[in-house]
Amino acid sequence: MAKVHNWQIGREMAYPYKAAFPRRQFAFVFNINRCIACQSCTMACKSTWTFNKGQEHMWWANVETKPYGGYPQFWDVKVLDLLEKANPGKQHWSGKPSADLKRPYGQFDGQTIFEAQKMLTPDSARVLGYLPSDEEWNSPNIYEDNPVGKKGERYQFDKTGVELPEHKTWFFYLARICNHCSYPACLAACPRKAIYKRPEDGIVLIDQEQCRGYRKCVEACPYKKTMYRGNTRVSEKCIACYPRVEGKDPVSGGQPIETRCMTACIGQIRMQGLVKMNRDGTWAEDRYHPLYYLVHVAKVALPLYPQFGTEPNGYYIPPRWVPRDYLRQMFGPGVDEAIERYSNPDRELLAVLQLFRRSNRIIFRYEIKEGPKVYEAPLRGKKITVYNDTVIAYGQDGKEIFRTTVEEPLHVRPAQHANSI
Amino acid sequence: MNVRSLAVVATVVSAAFVGCTKTEPPLSDSEVKAVFEKTLPSTVEDRIWERVPLHPAKLLLQDMVEPRLTQGSTSFVRVQSVTDGQKIAFRLSWSDSTLDDLPGPGRFGDAVALQMPAATTADVPAPQMGEQERPVEITYWSAIFQAVANGRKDDIHAIYPRAKVDHYPFEAASLKPGSAAQQEMAKRYAPARSLENPMAGPRTNPVQDLLAEGPGTIRPAEKSLSNGGGKYSQGGWSVLLVRPLPNGAQPGGRTQVAFAVWEGSHQEVGSRKMRTAWIPLSLGSAK
C-alpha cells in the first residue's frame, strides 16, 4: 500500500496506488435544506442512462430518506458497522476545524476502509466492504418519509404522530450520486484495473470493454454506487454525464454543462462544477469559484462520510434540524460551523446561494455587485441585514452566463389572469 | 497414493456415476490421458466416456493472488479427455449441491475452465494464469452462459418471473420489431455489448476462448474456436469442452493442462476459485 494525503481526514492514509490527481475535479454541492425528495434527479438520470434491460435495479442517482432509508438498504449503517468492528470505540476525530487546506476538519484518528486490517481478509485485502444482496437493491424508496420516534424512546414509532406547527420528529432527504472520489475504492479493488479516473476532470469510469463482472468494485465502494448488470454481466456506474461536462452534448454549444440530475433539480439544491487541483491533491485556491467558496471559504458544504477515506467529491450543506451527533457522524466535525454559517449567512454567502440552478452551464467564476440594503430584522436572536446584491456567473470561456439578484424578481399576475390556472 | 487418497478417489468416481448403469471408466491417477478417437464425443453422455480413463484432479485454493479464496469448496474435478489429432475434448464433472445460473447483482454462476500453455515447450509458464510473454490459453464455460444458450431469456424475468417493466427504449412504437434499428437501440444503452465485450450480449456458445499472461490480464482470444456444453444433474455438473490442440502439441506427444472450478453459491468469481496445478497430459495417436 502507498501512503497518500487525504485532506478531508487531515492525515496520510494507506491506499493501494500512489496518489495521482486530475487537473480539474468533478465536484458538486447539494443543499440538503432545500431537498424535497421530488425524485426529479432520480428520474432524469434513470431516463437518460439506466432504463434498458438489465438495469431495472439501477439508480445511479437516488434520493433516500434518512435515517432509515438507503439504497441499497442500510448501505451506510453496514459500512459504519464494519469499520466499528474493525476498530472498536476508536473511530474518532481530533483537533478542530481550521483554515489549513490540508486538514480543514481536524484529523480523523480512526481507520478508513483501506486501513481496517483487522477486518480485511485475504480474499478482500485491499478494501473493507460488503456485497449487497439482490433484495437490498430492490427497494430504492424503502422507508421513505419515515420519521424517528420521540426523543429518548428508541426503536419505537411515534404513537401520536406529529402536530403542526412543532415537529417533534426528524428526517431528511439525502440525494446521492457517485462521488467520483479522489481515492476511489472501486478503482482500488478492481483486480483487472478496468476502472480509471480521468486526468482531465477526475470522473471515475468502468471500462465496459475490460470489465468481467467480478464485482469487487461493488463490494468495495462504501457508497454502493457501482452496480452489476445481469444481462451484460459487467458492472456499470454513474458516468457524471461526461458528454455534457465535456461540452459535447448537442445542447451545450461547446461549453461544459452540468449533469442531467443537477439540471433537473427543481428544488434548486444542486450545483456541480470542475474545481482546480493542486499537485498535492488539495483544491487550488480559486476564491471566486462557487464550489471553492462553499467548501473552503464559507465552509458550509461538507463531504459525505469523509471517514471512509475515499475523499468523495460530493459536498452537502447539512440540514439545520437534524441532531448534531447524527450529522457529525455523516459529515464530520465541520457540521456545527457549517450550520451556524448557513443559518446566519453573510452577504457573500447569501449571494452565492442564488447561483444554484439559474443555468445549466457549469459556473467557473462569480462576481458580486453590491446592491441596496433591503431588509433588516432580528432572526433567532441575531440581527440580520439583507442587501439586494447582484451575483454574476461566468463560464469556462470567461463570458457571462447569467446574473441574478438576492431578492427574487416579483411578478404580479395581471388582473385578467388572476384566476386563470 | 496412500490408502486414504485411494478411498477418496473411489468415492469421487462412484459419485460421478451414481444411479447410472454405465460402465465405470478406468482410472488414471498420474496424468490426464487423452485417448485417440476418430470422432470426438459431442455430449457429456456419449458412451465413449465409459472407456476413457478418468483422472480425479484435486482442487486447491487459489490463495496466492488477490482476491484470494481462503475457504475451500469444490474438492475434485473428474477429468476425461479424447483427441482426434486436431482437436481435444474434455469431460469435466464435479459435485455441486446448488445449481447457480441466475444473473442477479448479488449472485454468481457456477463455472469451469481449462488452461493450456499457448506454446508446447519443455518448461511451462506459471500455472497461475501464465506469465508475461508466455501466455496460456483458457477455455471457459459458465452456467449462466449455458442457461442463455439453452434459450432462457436474458432478462429480469429469469429471477423475478412476475416482474413488470413499463418500457424499454428499444420497444418504442417507431422501432419495427426485429429491425436493425431496434437492434441498434437495444445496444445503445448496453455499452458492454456495443464494445463487443465477450461477457455481454446474447450467447449461443456457452464457452469462451481467453488468453492470459499473468493474474489480472485475462483477455478474449482473437478467434473463438472452442465449444461445448454443460448439464446439471444428480447433484453435480458435467461439462464438455472441445478446443483445438494447442500450438505445437502433436498426437503421441505430451503437454500440460490445468483446471479451475467456480462455485457460484460460494461467491466464487475471477481469481476466487478452486484450481489445480499443471497436470501432465498425454495425447493419444492413431497408431
Domain boundaries of chain A, sorted by first residue: 2-349, 350-405
Across the interface, whether the CB atoms of B66 and A125 are under 8 A apart is answered yes
- Predicted confidence at residue B229, as pLDDT, reads 97
Q: Which of A121-130, A222-231, B102-111, B139-148 has the lowest mean pLDDT?
A: A121-130
Same domain (yes/no): B122, B226? yes
Same domain (yes/no): B100, B168? no
- Predicted confidence at residue B3, as pLDDT, reads 44
- Predicted confidence at residue A120, as pLDDT, reads 73
Q: What is the chain B residue with the closest CA to A228?
A: B105
CB contacts < 8 A, A to B, total: 126
Across the interface, whether the CB atoms of B167 and A228 are under 8 A apart is answered no
- Predicted confidence at residue A414, as pLDDT, reads 85
| C-beta separation of A10 from A105 below 8 A | yes
| C-beta separation of A226 from A310 below 8 A | no
| C-beta separation of A272 from A362 below 8 A | yes
Across the interface, whether the CB atoms of A137 and B63 are under 8 A apart is answered no
Q: Sorting pLDDT into bands at 50, 70 and 90, what band is A413?
A: confident
Number of H helices, E strands in chain B: 4, 14
Across the interface, whether the CB atoms of B270 and A51 are under 8 A apart is answered no
Cα–Cα separations (whole angstroms), residue A26 to A47, A182, A212, A261, A397: 22, 10, 27, 14, 18
The grid cell for A359 is 443555468
Q: Which residue in A50, A123, A133 is closest to B106 by CB distance?
A: A133
The grid cell for A112 is 478508513
Across the interface, whether the CB atoms of B67 and A125 are under 8 A apart is answered yes
Same domain (yes/no): B196, B224? no
- What is the biggest distance separating any 2 CA atoms in chain A, rounded to whole angstroms? 75
Judging contacts by C-beta atoms under 8 Å, the chain A residues touching residue B104 are 134, 230
- Predicted confidence at residue A170, as pLDDT, reads 86
Q: What is the chain A residue with the closest CA to B192?
A: A208
- What percentage of chain B exceeds 70 in pLDDT? 92
Q: What is the mean pLDDT of residues A337-359?
A: 96
What b/e readout covers B51-66, taking b as 16+ CB neighbours within 10 angstroms? ebbbbbbebbbbbebb
Range of the domain at B225: 25-154+206-283
Judging contacts by C-beta atoms under 8 Å, the chain A residues touching residue B200 are 231-234
- Predicted confidence at residue A144, as pLDDT, reads 75
Same domain (yes/no): B217, B278? yes
Same domain (yes/no): B97, B233? yes
Q: Which residue in B66, B103, B170 is closest to A191 by CB distance?
A: B66
Distance CA A312, CA B11 (A): 54
Q: Sorting pLDDT into bands at 50, 70 and 90, what band is B182?
A: very high
What CATH number is given for A2-349 in this structure? 3.30.70.20
Find, among B246, B214, B218, the residue nearest to B119 by Cα: B246
Q: What is the mean pLDDT of residues A286-304?
A: 98
The grid cell for A187 is 478503482
Q: What is the chain B residue with the closest CA to A239?
A: B191
pTM > 0.80: yes or no? yes
Residue B34 C-alpha, separation from nearest chain A C-alpha, in angstroms: 31
Across the interface, whether the CB atoms of B69 and A123 are under 8 A apart is answered yes
Domain C-terminal end among B186, B201, B216: B201
Give chain B's domain count: 2
B19 lies in some domain: no
- Predicted confidence at residue B203, as pLDDT, reads 87
Phi/psi for A185 (5° steps) reads: -70, -35
**Residue at grid coordinates 426529479:** A40
Non-local (6+) Cβ contacts of B155 within 8 A are A53, A54, A231
B112 lies in some domain: yes
Mutate to test the interface with B, among A45, A51, A123, A139 (most CBs of B within 10 A): A123
Q: Give the number of other Cβ atoms within 10 Å of residue B178's Cβ.
A: 8
B117 lies in some domain: yes
- Predicted confidence at residue A157, as pLDDT, reads 61
Q: What is the mean pLDDT of residues B59-75?
A: 93
Tens digit of pLDDT for each residue in B85-118?
999 999 999 999 999 999 899 999 999 999 999 9
Tens digit of pLDDT for each residue in A68-92?
899 999 999 999 999 999 999 999 9
B5 lies in some domain: no
- Predicted confidence at residue B2, as pLDDT, reads 47
Across the interface, whether the CB atoms of A193 and B216 are under 8 A apart is answered yes
Residue predicted with more confidence, B180 or A122: B180
Distance CA B22, CA B51 (A): 10
Find, among B145, B142, B139, B127, the residue nearest to B90 by Cα: B139
- What percentage of chain B exceeds 90 in pLDDT? 75
Non-local (6+) Cβ contacts of B159 within 8 A are A134, A230, B102, B103, B104, B107
Tens digit of pLDDT for each residue in A18-36?
999 999 999 999 999 999 9
Mutate to test the interface with B, among A233, A234, A238, A239 (most CBs of B within 10 A): A233
The grid cell for A192 is 483487472
Q: Are strands A195-197 and A270-276 parallel, antiparallel or unpaired?
A: unpaired
- What percentage of chain A exceeds 70 in pLDDT? 94
- Predicted confidence at residue B19, as pLDDT, reads 42
Distance CA B105, CA A234 (A): 10
Distance CA A185, CA A309 (A): 9
User: How many Å separate Cα A352 from the centre of its chain?
Assistant: 18
Residue predicted with more confidence, A144 or A407: A407
Find, among A114, A191, A185, the residue nearest to B66 by Cα: A191
Please say if the pLDDT value at position A410 is more than 90. no
* Three-state SS at B243: strand
Q: Which of A204-218, A354-368, B9-23 has the lowest mean pLDDT?
A: B9-23
Distance CA A281, CA A6 (A): 8
Question: Interface pTM (ipTM) of the complex?
Answer: 0.90
Please say if the pLDDT value at position A119 is more than 90. no
Distance CA A204, CA A198 (A): 6
Distance CA B170, CA B182 (A): 6
Domain C-terminal end among B146, B179, B201: B201
Same domain (yes/no): B70, B195? no
The DSSP line for B94-159 is EE-SS------TT----EEEEEEESB--SSPPPTTT-BTTB-EEEEEEEHHHHHHHTT--SSGGGT
Task: Compute the mean pLDDT over every residue in chain A, rounded to the nearest whole number.
Answer: 93
Q: Which helix (H) or strand (E) holds B183?
A: helix B180-188
Q: Sorting pLDDT into bands at 50, 70 and 90, what band is B14?
A: very low
Write the single-letter amino acid at B70: T
User: How many Å separate Cα A32 from the centre of its chain?
Assistant: 10
Residue predicted with more confidence, A419 or B205: B205
Same domain (yes/no): B190, B48? no
B16 lies in some domain: no
- Predicted confidence at residue B5, as pLDDT, reads 47
3-class DSSP string for chain A = CEEEEECCCCEEEEECCCCCCCCEEEEEEEEHHHCCCCCHHHHHHHHHHCCCCCCCCCCCCEEEEECCCCCCCCHHHHHHHHHHHHCCCCCCEECCCCCCCCCCCCEECCCCCCCCCCCCECCECCCCCCCCCHHHHCCCCCCCCCCCCCCCCCCCCCCCCCCCCCCCCCCEEEEECCCCCCCCHHHHHCCCCCEEECCCCCCEEECCCCCCCCCHHHHHCCCCCEEEECCCCEEEECCCCHHHHCCCCHHHCCCCECCHHHHCCCCCCEEEEEEEECCCCCECCCCCCHHHHHHHHCCCCEECCHHHCCCCCEEEECCCCCCHHHHHHHHCCCHHHHHHHHHCCCHHHHHHHHHCCCCCECCCEEEEECCCEEEEEEECCEEEEEECCEEEEECCCCCEEEEEECCCCCCCCCHHHCCCC
Tens digit of pLDDT for each residue in A142-188?
777 766 667 777 766 666 655 555 556 788 999 999 999 999 999 99
Q: Sorting pLDDT into bands at 50, 70 and 90, what band is A272?
A: very high
Distance CA A152, CA B196 (A): 57
**Residue at grid coordinates 429491425:** B179
Q: Which residue in A123, A132, A208 is closest to B191 by CB distance?
A: A208
The DSSP 8-state label assigned to residue B47 in this structure reads: G
Same domain (yes/no): B130, B52? yes
Q: Sorting pLDDT into bands at 50, 70 and 90, what band is A298?
A: very high
**Residue at grid coordinates 415537529:** A167
Please say if the pLDDT value at position A276 is more than 80. yes
In CATH, what number is assigned to the domain containing residue B51? 2.60.40.1190
Non-local (6+) Cβ contacts of A179 within 8 A are A223, A225, A304, A310, A312, A313, A314
Please say if the pLDDT value at position A332 is more than 50. yes
Q: Sorting pLDDT into bands at 50, 70 and 90, what band is B20?
A: very low
| C-beta separation of A152 from A189 below 8 A | no
User: How many Å separate Cα A27 from the centre of its chain?
Assistant: 8
Find, among B124, B123, B129, B80, the residue nearest to B239 by Cα: B80
B6 lies in some domain: no
Q: What is the mean pLDDT of residues B142-164?
A: 92
**Residue at grid coordinates 414509532:** A157
Find, among B58, B110, B100, the residue nearest to B262 by Cα: B110
Torsion B214-B193-A228-A305 (CA) sign:
positive
- Predicted confidence at residue B234, as pLDDT, reads 87
Find, among B148, B145, B133, B113, the residue nearest to B271 by Cα: B113
The CA dihedral of B145, A134, A182, B214, to the nearest 10 degrees, is -30
Across the interface, whether the CB atoms of A125 and B159 are under 8 A apart is answered no
Q: Which of A87-91, A186-190, B3-7, B263-267 has the lowest mean pLDDT?
A: B3-7
Judging contacts by C-beta atoms under 8 Å, the chain B residues touching residue A124 are 67
Please say if the pLDDT value at position B16 is more than 50. no
Same domain (yes/no): B130, B194? no
Q: Which residue in B104, B155, B170 is closest to A134 by CB distance?
A: B104
- Predicted confidence at residue B11, as pLDDT, reads 47
Q: Which residue in B67, B215, B216 is closest to A123 by CB distance?
A: B67
User: How many Å separate Cα A409 from the centre of its chain?
Assistant: 30
The grid cell for A313 is 467529491
Q: Which residue in B189, B192, B269 is closest to A215 by CB distance?
A: B269
Q: What is the chain A residue with the closest CA to B152?
A: A231
